[in-house]
A and B are shown apart, each in its own frame.
Chain A
Amino acid sequence: MPIKIRALKPQEKTALLMVLPAFFYIFVFTVYSYSQAFYLAFVKYKLVEPQTIGKFIGLTNFIDVIGATYFKDTIYETFIFTLMCTVIIVSLGIGVSILLNEKFKGVGLVRFIILIPWAIPPTAAGLIWRLMLYRSGWINRFGMMLGIIKEPIEFLGAGRIYQLVYALIAQMWQQLPFVSILLMAAHQLIPKDLLDAARVDGASWIKRLRHVTFPYIRNVIALVAIWEAIVAFTSYDILYTFSGGVWGIITYYAFAEGFSWMNLGHAAALSVIIAIFILIMISIILLIIPPKKIYEYSFVE
């Protein structure tokens, strides 16, 4: 069947002229960058050995990074961190959204105040929480002042997994507002008369939550959870300042391989590994809302 080519209507011409600049801008940077990253993953690209740059070496970069001493621990820690972040932040976010959907005096102010940490740079969030947890930091200081603890606790001297839990507090401090606000918006989707009907029929608070609220916001919770998983999986800034730039999860090593150890090939291989995990999560998002729907809901009344 021949492809039908028809003249564009004036409306379509204008629309294309308006959309194309942004499209090309984003397209050039992302698609070119992604394909370059993919290409670099298969060639030798050590800045300290300029004569061998660009030599095709197949999967060697992948084999190297997977065999590297840090890789196994990092993957393990990354998954632990991602899992903890997602579960804790989303469940607390649900709680906060339920609380802040209640009507009480001063709710607007509370909503605004809890949003403040979200606006603060993640770098700052990581550093603040490290300074809080120091031996002479504010948690120890106030704890001893109030007599809760007798001896200062060495939070930052604990093992890596404990450190990740502390880093999680910083991540939570930064991300909880966003999650809560999105879930609060989701609560507005529930038809008011449905809740009223349930109340009149004598359903308890827990039952209303379980049978009326939850089914309506289930999809949003799933989306927010996946979004949080992506954010945690690629968390870089918070962990960087929290650890003082010495350790981190997988993104830290992708950056260190490239810009500290000058091996862009390895960095690209790690990026591809990260991208594969992220793509899996994105495809889950697309299963929950298909692309057609994303567009429709942003477009049609």
Chain B
Amino acid sequence: MRNQKIINMTRIVIIYLFSAILVFFALFPIITCYIGSITPETEIRSEPHKPIWVKGPTFYYYEYIFGAPFGMQFTTDPYLRYEAVRALVFTNVNYTLQILLNSFIVAAGVAFLNVLIGGITAYAFTRLRFPGSTGVFTFILLSRLLPPIIIAVPYYAICYSLGITNTLLSLLLVHGVITLPFTIWYLTLYYRTIPVEIEESALVDGCSYFQAFRKVAFPTASSGLMAAGLFSFMLSYNDLLFAQFLEEKVEVTTIPLFIAFLSTQTDLYFAIMYAVLSLTFIPVILMLIVLWKKLNITELVGALKM
């Protein structure tokens, strides 16, 4: 029995050791962003053996991001000696809040579209039998597998001829297409977990099939619909490729595009980058917390049975 105890102890030690490594690997890069965003630029750029926060942390960069759009005057970075080259970065950083808002508008629109269209379509696939269902379902699922880069060129041509480049609408439409297949797949799995009896009794009571969906199934599935909505929100919030060729003006930029812009400047402005990154994480982590409570891993299992 003593032997058994030792085995158990080592098992626990090994499990916690590896868990600690995993948690460190996942969180360390994110934590460094928050540290970097409150470190003066000169100290981030200093040789790695020099200490940071010599004069203490600074909130200058956050003040700049939140203050500049409201007319607060920031002409120079007190922590830097070379100013002129940063003019471009600085003028665009004025738009950070607007850019965050743009990302939110597009992502929320995509989420709404997904819940509405995806909710309806998935219901039909789960509860109703109709000719061609296998073909349509497989088509919708597989359409997601070809990479978005292939759509890029023709989609640009479509938007250009419609004159909707540089609008958030063009982005919303294309994000809808790339997120819908997943939503439909997830929701078909979700509807299966809801008992069919209530809808059947609604049908017996004289509801039409659509009414049974709208008045019974749709409200009951709210939790799954919310998960699907959040999921598509995140997919849209994270997309760079489509934003990159559709949106050229800074007023309609989204967050990934802005991060890409900051990273491609020849003269990198570390502290501003860290501050923007830190702000980017907040909404997705909040989403993830909600999603984590809604999304049950075991629900996904059904799809994997083979």
Contacts and interface: CB of A to CB of B under 8 A. Distances in A.
B19 A295 contact: no
Interface string A268-297: 100110110011001001001101111101
Given A10-B209, A23-B140, A127-B273, A116 B154 contact: no
A135 interface: yes
Contacts of A173: 25-26, 29
A258 B160 CA distance: 14
B65 interface: no
Contact of B259 (A124, A136, A181): A124
A278 B121 contact: no
B45 A136 contact: yes
Interface stretch (B66-74, B79-87, B93-101, B238-246): B238-246
A116 B288 contact: yes
B49 interface: yes
A181 B296 CA distance: 11
A251 B306 contact: no
A18 interface: yes
Given A19-B136, A120-B284, A295-B134, A32 B153 contact: no
Which of B52, B145, B180, B257 lies at the interface centre, i.e. has the most chain A CB atoms within 10 A of its CB? B145
B47 interface: yes
A229 to B, nearest CB: 12
A58 interface: no
A36 B209 contact: no
Contacts of A233: 147
Interface string B119-140: 0110111101111011011111
Contacts of B229: none
Nearest to B124: A18
A298 B136 contact: no
A135 B152 CA distance: 36
Interface residues of A, number: 106
A237 B240 contact: yes
Contacts of B140: 22-23, 26
Contacts of B130: 11-12, 15-16, 19
Task: Give the size range of B's interface with the partner.
Answer: 35 or more
Given A121-B280, A241-B263, A141 B177 contact: no
Contacts of B56: none
Nearest to A16: B130
Given A18-B210, A301-B192, A245 B305 contact: no
B103 to A, nearest CB: 9
Contacts of A236: 149, 240-241
A14 B125 contact: no
A128 B180 contact: no
A217 to B, nearest CB: 9
Contacts of B120: 18, 21-22
Interface stretch (A73-81, A184-192, A206-214): A184-192
A33 B151 contact: yes
Interface in B164-197: 173-174, 176-177, 180-181, 184-185, 188-189, 192
Given A12-B129, A132-B32, A275 B151 contact: no
Contacts of A244: 263-264
B285 to A, nearest CB: 6
Nearest to B261: A245
A163 interface: no
Interface of A: 10-12, 14-19, 21-23, 25-27, 29-30, 32-34, 36-37, 40, 96, 99, 102, 104, 106, 110, 112-117, 119-124, 126-132, 135-138, 140-141, 143-145, 152, 173, 177, 181-182, 184-186, 188-189, 219-220, 230, 233-234, 236-237, 240-241, 244-246, 251, 254-255, 258-259, 264, 267-268, 271-272, 274-275, 278-279, 282, 285, 288-289, 291-295, 297-299, 301
Interface of B: 11-12, 15-16, 18-19, 22-23, 25-30, 32-33, 35-36, 44-49, 52, 117-118, 120-121, 123-126, 128-131, 133-134, 136-143, 145-158, 173-174, 176-177, 180-181, 184-185, 188-189, 192, 208-210, 213, 234, 237-241, 244-245, 255-257, 259-260, 262-264, 270, 273-274, 277, 280-281, 284-285, 287-289, 292, 297-298, 300-306
